[in-house]
Amino acid sequence: MLIQAQNHARRVVISVIALLLCFGILLSPTGANAGAGGVLTAQRDSRSADLEAHMAATDDTPADIDAELLTDVAGSDETASPDSASGPVEIVVRFADPGVPSAAAGDPEAAVAALQSLEQQRWDLVEEGLRALDDRVTVLNRFWITGAILVSATPSEEVLSDLAALPGAVEVVPNFTVEPTADVIGPGSPGETVDDPTHGTLTWGVDRIEAPQAWDDFGVTGEGVRVAVLDTGVDASHPDLADKMVGADLNDPTYPGGWITFDSHGLPIATTPADPGSHGTHVAGTIVGGDASEVQIGVAPGASLMAANVLSGAGGGSYARILAGLQWALAPHSGHSTDDRVGLPANVINMSLGSTGHSAAFADIIRNIRAAGIFPAIAIGNAPCGPTGNSSPGDLYEAVGVGNTNSADEVNPESCGAQTAWPAEVTERYDWPQNFMKPDVSAPGTAVYSAIPGGRWGQSTGTSMATPHVAGAAALIASARAGLSVDEIAQALEDTAWHPAGDDAEQDDRYGHGRINVHDAIASVLGASGVSGTVIDSATGAPIEGALVTYADVSESWTTDARGAFQAPLVPGKYTLRIQAFGYHETEVAVTVPDDRIVQAQAELEAMTTGVIQGVAVSRETNEPIEGATVVVVGQPLSTTTASDGSYRFEGLPPGQYTVAFSAEGMTTATAAPARVEVAHQTTVNAVLSPQLRVLLIGSGDADRTAELLRANETTVTQRPDLPASVDADEFDTVIVDTAAQADPAAIAALRQSLQASGVGSLWLDLGSNETTGIALLSHHTGSPVVREGANDRDATATGYVITAEHPIFAAGQLSNSALTPEMFVSQNSQSTGPKFTAWFSDFNEPGAQVLASAAKQNNDGSVTVLGDGIAVSDGSGSRTVLLSLHASMSAIGARTWSSEVSQVLVNSTQWAAPDSVQPIAPTVLEPQSIKPTPPDPDDDGDGDGDGNGHGGNNGNSGGSPWQPAPANGNRDSTPQQLAPNQQKTPTAQEQPKPESAPGPPFSSLAELKLAEQGGITAVLDGDELAVTIPGAEPGDWYYLHIYPHKLGVDWIRVNSDGELRINIGSLQGGTYYLVFTAADGAHAGWYELEIAGEDEAAPQDDVPAAELPDVQADLTGDDEDLSAAPDNGLTPLEQGLLLGTTGVLLAAAAVITLAALRRKPSA
């Protein structure tokens, strides 16, 4: 669908050329429509390759000033001061642009570097002139893609003249905006399809250009090629697009390098992918879509998708916004900054947009894009085609303009096309032919079936739908043979296109060169030349799967298979291949590809010295390990699931900081703080996962969208239309009152009393649209808040909150990557049409009440008017309460139209209001510990018999191996060797005295213990004695021993002169024990897991009277008695002497006495 643009004077300056060609999109300039007025003209030479020559050629001649800006000044003269318009407007000043140097042609990185360098030189020349304008002009953004700046200024004659006189300025234009109309693509049937024996059902367009034959004959589906769709956005979760987005494997919801959106100034905004207009998703589906609908919709399903929202939402399709989108496609960055380069540039750009009439506004940009080696597929437009017969920028000479054909291979009557009639000064400036034909090629664009947001599919018609067929075809060609220039790809498409007049047909204004055939185009460029290579580990020679092989000069890439192999079809020439793989140092390999030959190449990668992240995931609800929990390393293509014991492990991690996130069905995702990984060290990250928050949402119909938002953010939602009489903390954690039916003072009072008694939190919402919203009910029936008001100001440009205080509900999260801080205005409703309801309150008189934000509206001049209190919290009446005055729902306004920041506030508030008992627990990140060699197998004593006694035979041993003790009667073949007097292992003289008091059990449960640092403790069995080594322990140090899972305190143990703690385990029954050590200063030293297999019962020591054994039944049944409070455990002095002998060795008595009590069964 083509938009109509108003011609303003003898020179047409189209502002933002961002109009969806298959929809109605209305161009609405920032200022009033132009009437009388002219353009200040200047002759300039724009072809010089030297920047200063370019700019010097314009120094004495002011730039053209768009008639719209002059009209603004003229119009204001009649009603305002004699020299100024009524207020500031946004203005774009374009400068002479020499373009991409020939030395950087075809190399995106070199082109970006050259353009940025030129822009900085240009800025140095114009900055002084801008300073001379004082505070009359504010610079909002700079664009290196074409040499332009965006400023805000009141357009007086003096200011405009000064801007036009800046060194090198060639044009002064407003930052026009465009807005999509209400037209959408609705769901529908596939329509005409083709059944393919190999690929199933295909859209007629994919079949018509012979994409399936290209897939089969040449083995390419677009792998290694990135296609950027500059449009209304994209639904990245659509079944046909899932995992196609660049950045999809980085566990980052903002898809760095694959997704971006901008404000009207062209500044990036950090968001998650979305498509408010549907158009971008449909276009993307035709390029890279799959067959989730059982119909294959994409031409290049193996290509990677990059998507920029340059049209939908706040700011519309401003000129600056589209400039920023084109810059991003050439040099991707995140939504946080234009300086943090992420990912590789696009190889193909799809622009299914345009406006009627010739406009050179994008001539420099598209020229630079093409010179950098990026294929620009641009729609030629739909009827009405305007006086020029074409749409711009599809009518630019460097653009590959695309027309629309139907299933009968006829050009759709609505498809534009004509011989261009550019002014001579434009064709001379850009060295174009005086007359040339558009479109260049045509492609299927009628009744095209593709993806639409929400996991749906539908048909649409227009050159917008034809263009992605060409973009997909270009991706297949680039994938089939890397290193082709844009000219070579375009030439292949033109030379092999089908035309009803035959192969010798001349280009015309209907078909162009013809309807494309991608199979024939690939065949025309393929030859038997390229690289067949392998990537291996330099130390082991093992193949490396998943290594990325990149032809750096034009960013082509391939991935090695399980054999470490890759095939790179390349035209003859010299190449430098860059090879990268996770956990390896990257390398480069220089290859020369001769004519008609495939050369062999091998790359050896050196493994980095790496570390490990490991840990366990435990359920907070059951204290049991979670099996099958998903653990990911955010920002890395690494994920795993936990084993039956809740454990996980990532090996081969290069040193650095890593963020680990845990998720499981029915649980709230837990993301750990960054964990440091060091070489040859193991970092432990443990998580306790909480059940999903349980929310009762009061409201129906319009509140469904709020329920959807909460469910999408790991919340269990129960919805009802009226207020409950009471709430139970065993059933709900938070109650949200959106809009309640049949609420009266008694119902409100009963609910609030129940909330306070149960500790369940509550959110009370409002919007000002009716009197049954949560805050309205509170105010009317309880008098708190005392005042509540509402309004509907359709003249406001946006409604929202002004943050006035810091609070956890303003924290960043999955929906919004940035925290909200005081003085920020956060938009809630910025729709260009429709109602603008607001509500506000005052005097919220609750214990612990705090106002966090004001309700506000944004005016047409950009100023913000505060209306009253907008967000308040309280936590002093037994439960937490949150008031949100702009979060209630109505038919036109709700969770689907909120900004990501406002949505995050609701999610955060729901969590904050819940009781402490259900608040998520942050994962524990422990310091890296040295990875120690596995302790020697005690069975491997070197004598070959495996019995561990070193005697070369079992000699009738009836007691089993040392890990399986004999009964306590001492019936063993091998007993601990007795130490001679001169062999006694005694502590040093510098020992500290034994601590007087014993610590309590350091952990409340075995599950909590397993989350704690193991401490690197090792142990070796020496007969019946376990020799324990604690890293850092010195002879004479004291450690207290607890034995889990029973939390039994034994006594203090002293480190001997060999740095060991000696524990006799000869009488322990079979089972699993956890020996937990606490240092004398109370610090947790670590724990050791001991597995003993044996008989269930062992007789207690004969010299320990049963009557003197401590009663530990209370501990076994869960009572809180501290068994370690009395270190003597009720022992006689004789038994105390047996417990700690003069050798400092912990003898059997302590363990036997303590654990013998565990074995006693209560009397009947």
Residues marked active site are found at: 231, 279, 464
CA–CA distances in Å: residue 535 to residues 480, 606, 678: 21, 11, 26
CA distance 1116 to 1111: 10
Are 926 and 682 contacting, i.e. CB atoms less than 8 angstroms apart? no
Which residues have CB under 8 Å from 830's CB, separation 6+?
A: 313, 314, 797, 798, 800, 858, 899
10 Å CB burial of residue 195 (0-12, 13-18, 19+) is: exposed
CA torsion 499-500-506-512 (nearest 10°) is -50
What tokens appear for 1163 in the block? 């009397």
By the 10 Å C-beta count (0-12 exposed, 13-18 middle, 19+ buried), 598 is classed as middle
With a CB cutoff of 8 Å and minimum separation 6, the contacts of 33 are: 6, 8, 68, 71
Residue 557 to residue 72: CA distance in whole angstroms: 51
Dump the DSSP string for 1028-1090. Answer: EE-TT--TT-EEEEEEETTTEEEEEEE--TTS-EEEE-TTPPSEEEEEEEEETTS-EEEEEEE
Q: Report helix angle 463-480 to 486-495, nearest 10.
A: 110
CA pseudo-torsion sign 241, 243, 248, 251 = positive
> Is the distance from CB of 321 to CB of 16 less than 8 angstroms?
yes
CA angle 339, 340, 345 (to 5 degrees): 95
β-bridge mates for residue 600, sequence order: 532
CB 183 within 8 A of CB 23: yes
742 contacts 751 by C-beta, under 8 angstroms? no
Please name the helix (run of DSSP H) or strand (run of DSSP E) that holds residue 469, with its range, or none. Answer: helix 463-480
- β-pair type (850-858, 864-874): antiparallel
Q: Which tokens hold the place of 1004?
A: 């409340």
Distance in angstroms (rounded) separating the CA atoms of residues 575 and 601: 12
Q: 443 - beta bridge partners?
A: 404
Distance CA 390, CA 421 (A): 10
Give the H or E element holding residue 363. Answer: helix 363-371
Residue 825 Cα distances to 640, 800, 821, 863, 882, angstroms:
40, 7, 9, 10, 19
**Which structure tokens are listed for 1049?**
């305190």
The CA distance from 715 to 708, in Å, is: 9
Residues whose CB is less than 8 angstroms from the CB of residue 541 and which lie 6 or more positions away in sequence, other chains included: none
Q: Whole-angstrom Cα distance, residue 735 to residue 413?
A: 57
DSSP character for 498? B
Owner of token pair 């703080």: 673
Q: How far apart are CA 447 and CA 207, in angstroms?
A: 14
CA–CA separation, 756 and 726 (whole Å): 10
By the 10 Å C-beta count (0-12 exposed, 13-18 middle, 19+ buried), 102 is classed as exposed
d(CA 918, CA 912): 10
